[in-house]
């Protein structure tokens, strides 16, 4: 099982879209996947449209037991021929878990909860902050993926997120590895975007960029508002983004395998 958390300090850069894009790619590939929506905004929850909800991420954080994880797992409306997606949904009460006083010792709960999952892939969507919920996600993850847009502020946010990954790895989760920076909403024809991408390579090294970048295409918004995976949208733009997420998922699975053999 590979646990990937998707984070960024900056809001609106595409964390949820990356989680959903990877979830769609995993479904198409026949993997069994659980998406954990740790964002009180609940965007991934509304796109994945699960129905019967007996528990949520809030109840799982309150009681990270096998029983509570079982109760919170709900099947998504997204259906594949062989793969399946289940969800641990967000709910507004999650905000209560985001408060963190740096003084009290951090005792991760989600890391205990994910041990009760038995699937191929777990994707965790984080809120736009480096508060306690993102720390929970990092403490539970094998790979941490940072999302940014090709902009000045985006690059600043990515640096802070990478520093946070290091801190969690050094303090509570030695298994955690940096999975790379996803450059989202990339317009290859825009010089400013190419410049910002080069800048990220200069600062973090070419290896740090998770390839490929995700192009900016209206299909991403269309799929989300229809509550469907990207491959259900029939347009050239959708096909481009689907291809990018397929490659990205393969890259992450490969990183996961390399990590396993190294340990
Ligand atoms: N590659 C893309 N092309 C076009 N639109 C995109 C792309 N990626 C994201 N978007 C759109 O940008 C908006 C913000 O994306 P998203 O909600 O995924 O960001 P986020 O980082 O999860 O936001 P938040 O910080 O609020 O959780 C959404 O309307 C989404 O559809
Ligand atoms: Mg989001």
CA of 101 to the centre of ligand 2 (A): 24
What confidence score (pLDDT) does residue 199 get? 93
Domains for the chain: give ranges and CATH numbers: 2-94+108-262 (3.40.50.300)
Probe residue for ligand 1, chosen from 7, 8, 14 as the CB with the greatest number of ligand atoms within 8 Å:
14
CA of 31 to the centre of ligand 2 (A): 23
Q: Is 217 in the pocket of ligand 1 (CB under 6 A)?
A: yes
The set of residues, in sequence order, having a beta carbon less than 8 Å from that of 147 and lying 6+ positions away, is 6, 7, 8, 13, 14, 15, 18, 181, 182, 184
Q: pLDDT digits over 38-69, tens only?
A: 999 999 999 998 777 789 999 999 999 999 99
What confidence score (pLDDT) does residue 103 get? 60
Q: pLDDT digits over 157-202, tens only?
A: 888 999 999 999 999 999 999 999 999 999 999 999 999 999 999 9
Q: Is 164 in the pocket of ligand 1 (CB under 6 A)?
A: no
Q: Tokens 């802070």 label which residue? A: 160
What confidence score (pLDDT) does residue 82 get? 83
Encoded tokens for 261: 């053999």
Q: For 16-20, 53-57, 243-247, which range has the lowest pLDDT when averaged over its residues?
A: 53-57
Q: Looking at the whole model, is its pTM more than 0.95?
A: yes
Q: Is 214 in the pocket of ligand 1 (CB under 6 A)?
A: yes
Q: Is 12 in the pocket of ligand 1 (CB under 6 A)?
A: yes
Helix/strand/coil (H/E/C) assignment for every residue in the chain: CEEEEEECCCCCCCHHHHHHHHHHHHHHHCCEEEEEECCCCCHHHHHHCCCCCCCCHHHHHHCCCHHHHHHHEEEEEEECCCCEEEEECCCHHHHHHCCCCCCCCCCCCHHHHHCCCCCCEEEEECCCCCCHHHHHHHHHCCEEEEEECCCHHHHHHHHHHHHHHHHHHHHCCCCCEEEEEEEEEECCCCHHHHHHHHHHHHHHCHHHECCCCEECCHHHHHHHHHCCCHHHCCCHHHHHHHHHHHHHHHHHHHHHHHHHHHC
What confidence score (pLDDT) does residue 128 get? 93
Ligand in nearest proximity to the CA of 11: 1
Encoded tokens for 173: 């989760």
Q: Whose CA is nearest to atom 25 of ligand 1?
A: 11
């Amino acid at each position: 099982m590979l646990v990937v958390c998707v984070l960024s300090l900056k809001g609106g850069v595409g964390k949820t879209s990356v989680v959903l894009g990877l979830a769609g790619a995993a479904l198409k590939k026949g993997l069994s996947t659980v998406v954990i929506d740790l964002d009180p905004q609940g965007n991934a929850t509304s796109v994945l449209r699960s129905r019967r909800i007996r528990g949520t991420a809030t109840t799982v954080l309150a009681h990270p037991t096998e029983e509570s994880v079982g109760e919170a797992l709900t099947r998504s409306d997204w259906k594949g021929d062989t793969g399946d997606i289940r969800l641990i949904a967000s709910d507004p009460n999650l905000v209560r878990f985001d408060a963190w006083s740096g003084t009290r010792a951090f005792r991760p709960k989600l890391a205990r909860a994910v041990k009760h999952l038995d699937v191929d892939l777990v994707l965790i969507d984080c809120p736009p902050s480096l508060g306690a919920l993102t720390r929970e996600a990092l403490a539970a993850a094998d790979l941490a993926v940072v999302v940014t847009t090709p902009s000045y502020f985006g690059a600043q946010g990515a640096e802070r997120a990478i520093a946070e990954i290091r801190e969690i790895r050094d303090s509570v989760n030695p298994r955690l590895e940096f999975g790379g920076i996803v450059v989202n909403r990339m317009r290859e024809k825009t010089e400013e975007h190419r410049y910002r991408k080069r800048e990220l390579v200069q600062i973090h090294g070419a290896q740090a960029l998770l390839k490929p970048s995700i192009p900016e295409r209206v299909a991403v918004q269309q799929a989300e508002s229809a509550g469907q995976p990207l491959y259900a949208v029939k347009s050239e733009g959708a096909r481009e983004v689907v291809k990018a997420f397929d490659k990205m998922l393969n890259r992450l699975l490969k990183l996961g395998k390399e990590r396993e053999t190294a340990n």
